[in-house]
Each structure stands twice: as C-alpha cells, then as structure tokens.
C-alpha cells in the first residue's frame, strides 16, 4: 500500500501549500502521538528544527497535536537532524521529530521522524500514522494531556558526542579549515566541534535569519566555500546542508570532493585499521569510479534505492558499518544510525591525521566516471515504468553506451522532478545522451 503523504524523507513541500500547513501539522502531531503513545506510559517525543522562519509555527502545531494525544514533548530548538537521532536514543524517547526541508530554500519545510532506536521510521509505521490522520481528532482526558519542556543543553550534549566519534587522544592542532553551516541548524554546533578538537576554524554561513538557509551556501552550493578556502589558504573546507545530515568537502586547491569520494576515503582508512565490516552501501546514483576503486582494495559495494533510509536498511541487512550517497549523506553506523555531516567530516580528518596525507592526496586513488544529472520538472510524481516511449529511449541510450556506462531514470521522492542520470567513460558523449534523454522525458511528462 502506497503512502499518501510520506516521501523518501518524511513529508515535505512549500509552506502554506497542503500538506505543509499549520492545520495539517497539528493533525500530524496528534496522529503520530496516537501511534507513539500506544501501550506506553507517560510517552515522550523530542522536537528539533532547522532555522527556517516557519519552524516556529510548525513546532507549536506539533506540540499541540502531541499534547492532545497525551504525549509529552521536549523541545530542542534549532538542532541538526542527526542530533535528534542521537538524543532520541539518549533520552529513551518514543520518537524524535525534525522540522526541516534539508537543502531546500526557506519557503519549503518538512517533517521527518526517528524511532526510539534513532532510525528513520519504517514504511509500516508511516502508514499507521497516515491511517490516524484520516480519523477525527480528539483530545485525551485533561489529566493525561502532554506537557512540554525545553532542553537547554541539547547543543552541548551533541557537541560532546561528535567529539567522541574519533580516536581518544587525537586532535587537529595545526589544521586550518573553513566550515560552511549553510545558515542552518549547525551554526551553533559545528564550529565548536572542530575548534574544541584543536583546529583553527573559519566560519561562513553561520548567521541564520530565518530566510537565508541554504541561500548561496552549503552542501548544494560549495562554490562559495571553494573560493573562501583558497582566499584563506586553508587546508580544506566542509560544507554542510541546512539540517546538517550531509556534507560536501573542498580540498586546498578548491576542488570539490563529493559524497562518493568521502565514502572512499573513510572506507580505505577503516580497512587499513581493520574496522570495516561488510560491504560499503551506495545507491543507484553512486559513481562507477567508487565501485572500481573499492574493488581494487578488495571491498565490495552494494547499491540501495536512493534515500538514506534505504541505504540504512541495506546496511542492516548486510551488517555494514559504512554507507552513503553521492550527495553527501554519509552513514557511519558504528557511530550514529543516520547521515551526519559533522561525524563524516571528522572521519575524513582522522584519516588525514593518521596517514599524514592531505584531502587531495587521499582522493587521488579514486577516478570518477563522468556523470551527468539532469532534473526534469514534471506535473506530478509518476511511475516511469508506465511510459513506453521513455523506457524505449532509455534502452537506446544504454545500447549506445555499449556496456561502458549506466543510465538511471527515477522520480524524486521529495520534489516533482524526474532525475535523468547518464554515466560513462566519455564525458562529451555522456552529456549529449543525458540531454537527449532529458528532452524526451520533458516532452512526455513535463509542464
């Protein structure tokens, strides 16, 4: 059974457009509270948010809905998504909720959930919540209405956790880096993590005003970070996204290092230390270059569907400790059960420190295949398998690659887009084929 509201990462959309409205989020809080409160005495749910102006409205709506369902809430304020995963487990809460649209602009927002184990909710639990949304809203007896409290030291707890994810005694004295917080929820966390470990930290994107999250900065716009790294003569840079669950890095020359390359660095270092368990888990978008580079080291790669929740599901199935996406969602499962940009950056820094190599040198052992991704706007989310003309052209493009590349068509789980990806050894041919396929998709499915 499909889900009516939940996508690959919670519920997301434009603020004021259903379902990202105050009344729906109120009902969502109540429905989630009904599910989380079942067979539990005095249930508690944590609520965190990023720095969007609409977060205030949705925080209040969720709190009211949960209270009406008899659930207590602990309000974390602006906190990175992975921090809510960590704190949900730490406080033994029934669930954690994050109000965020991740890398999207300020006028979008969303709601995503973690279970008591710090993992994203299963499809079955999301369907239970959706079934409650369809019921008339009620309020528990006044003696059972939930209470709300605000946790004042949430940031400090998470900072200490992040520092604990690298080897005891390791510091980064003498390291100079630029950290881009995307004017998002890591602005009051990330700089302290790195500086307290001894690094010289230059910050940017650390003045959120409710409207500037991800605006020209962050993991989706690393060009400004690359420029700053060169200007400052820094060793490297780290760009986080608005909710801190992903990163893109930049080496000393301004070259961008994506999630696949970060995965390679961490996997190589862990294998050398004997700490790598199971295959590395990537996605359908993972570059062939990573697969080939890992293979040379005797490390396997398996591909999950796009979305960090699906990466985690495959990691659990194969007992893997490392997985992630090209976009920079990196999951170090033996540290935290969700994507964490700060933790991933620390793993790379640990590899740099232990090998004595810079970021540029560490990534040299991986040769990326040229890959072209084109986003095609469509009227609504569609099942691409139903369109014979699109599938026929996809097969034609695959024949032209002659086994020396890949083609991927997929509908976005968070936006009305079809993502067209072509990968192969010849960059010019890859671009030409991607444009050709994207034009065909636009003709059949576009506005």
Q: Mind spelling out the 3-state secondary structure of the chain?
A: CCCCCCECCEEEEECCCCCCCHHHHHHHHHHHHHHHCCCCCCCEEEEEECCCCCHHHHHHHHHHHHHHCCCEEEEEEECCHHHHHHHHHHCCCCEEEEECCCCCCCCEEEEEEECCCCCECCHHHHHHHHHHHCCCCCCCCHHHCCCEEECCCHHHHHHHHHHCCCCCCCCCCCCEEEEECCCCCCCCCHHHHHHHCCCEEEEECCCCCCCCCCCCCCCCCCHHHHHHHHHHCCCEEEEECCCCCCEEEEECCCCEECHHHHHHHHHHHHHHHCCCCCCEEEECCCCHHHHHHHHHCCCCEEEECCCHHHHHHHHHHHCCCEEECCCCCEEECCCCCCCCHHHHHHHHHHHHHHHCCCHHHHHCCCCCCCEEEEEEEECCCCCHHHCHHHHHHHHHHHHHHCCCEEEEEEECCCCCEEEEEEEECCHHHHHHHHHHHHHHHHHHHEC
Kindly give, in sequence order, each residue whose CB lies less than 8 Å from that of residue 12, ignoring residues fewer than 6 positions away: 20, 101, 102, 104, 108, 109, 110, 111, 414, 415
Q: Is 102 a known active-site residue? A: yes
Catalytic entry in 67, 102, 185, 327 = 102
Residues acting as catalytic residues: 102
């Amino acid at each position: 059974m499909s889900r009516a509201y939940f996508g690959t990462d919670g519920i997301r959309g434009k603020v004021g457009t259903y379902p990202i409205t105050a009344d729906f989020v109120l009902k969502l809080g109540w429905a989630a509270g009904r599910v989380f409160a079942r067979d539990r005495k005095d249930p508690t749910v944590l609520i965190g948010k990023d720095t969007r102006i609409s977060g205030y409205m949705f925080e209040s709506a969720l709190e009211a809905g949960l209270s009406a369902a008899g659930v207590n809430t602990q309000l974390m304020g602006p906190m990175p998504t992975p921090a809510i995963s960590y704190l949900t487990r730490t406080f033994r809460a029934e669930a954690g909720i994050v109000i965020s649209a991740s890398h999207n602009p300020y006028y979008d927002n969303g709601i995503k959930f973690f279970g008591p184990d710090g993992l994203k909710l299963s499809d079955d639990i999301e369907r239970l919540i959706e079934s409650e949304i369809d019921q008339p809203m009620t309020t528990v007896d006044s003696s059972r209405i939930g209470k709300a409290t605000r946790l004042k030291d949430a940031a400090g707890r998470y900072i200490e956790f992040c520092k604990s994810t690298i080897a005891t005694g390791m510091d980064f004295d003498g390291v100079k880096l630029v950290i881009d917080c995307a004017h998002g929820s890591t602005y009051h966390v990330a700089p302290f993590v790195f500086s307290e470990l001894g690094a010289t930290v230059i910050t940017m994107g650390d003045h959120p005003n409710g409207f500037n999250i991800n605006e020209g900065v962050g993991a989706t716009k690393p060009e400004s970070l690359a420029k700053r790294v060169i200007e400052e003569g820094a060793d490297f840079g780290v760009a986080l996204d608005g909710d801190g669950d992903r990163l893109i890095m930049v080496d000393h020359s301004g070259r961008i290092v994506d999630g696949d390359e970060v995965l390679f660095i961490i996997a190589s270092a862990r294998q050398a230390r004997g700490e790598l368990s199971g295959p590395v888990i990537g996605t359908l978008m993972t570059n062939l270059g990573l697969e080939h580079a890992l293979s040379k080291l005797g490390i396997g790669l398996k591909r999950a569907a796009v979305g960090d929740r699906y990466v985690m599901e495959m990691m659990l199935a194969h007992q893997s400790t490392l997985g992630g996406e090209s976009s920079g969602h990196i999951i170090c499962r033996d540290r935290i059960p969700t994507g964490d940009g700060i933790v991933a950056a620390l793993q790379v820094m640990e590899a740099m420190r232990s090998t004595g190599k810079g970021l540029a040198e560490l990534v040299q052992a991986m040769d990326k295949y040229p890959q072209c991704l084109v986003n095609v706007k469509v009227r609504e989310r569609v099942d691409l398998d139903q369109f014979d003309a699109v599938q026929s052209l996809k097969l034609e493009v695959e024949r032209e690659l002659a086994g020396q590349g890949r083609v991927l068509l997929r509908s976005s789980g968070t936006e009305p887009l079809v993502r067209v990806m072509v990968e192969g050894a010849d960059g010019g041919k890859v671009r030409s084929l991607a444009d050709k396929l994207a034009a065909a998709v636009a003709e059949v499915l576009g506005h």
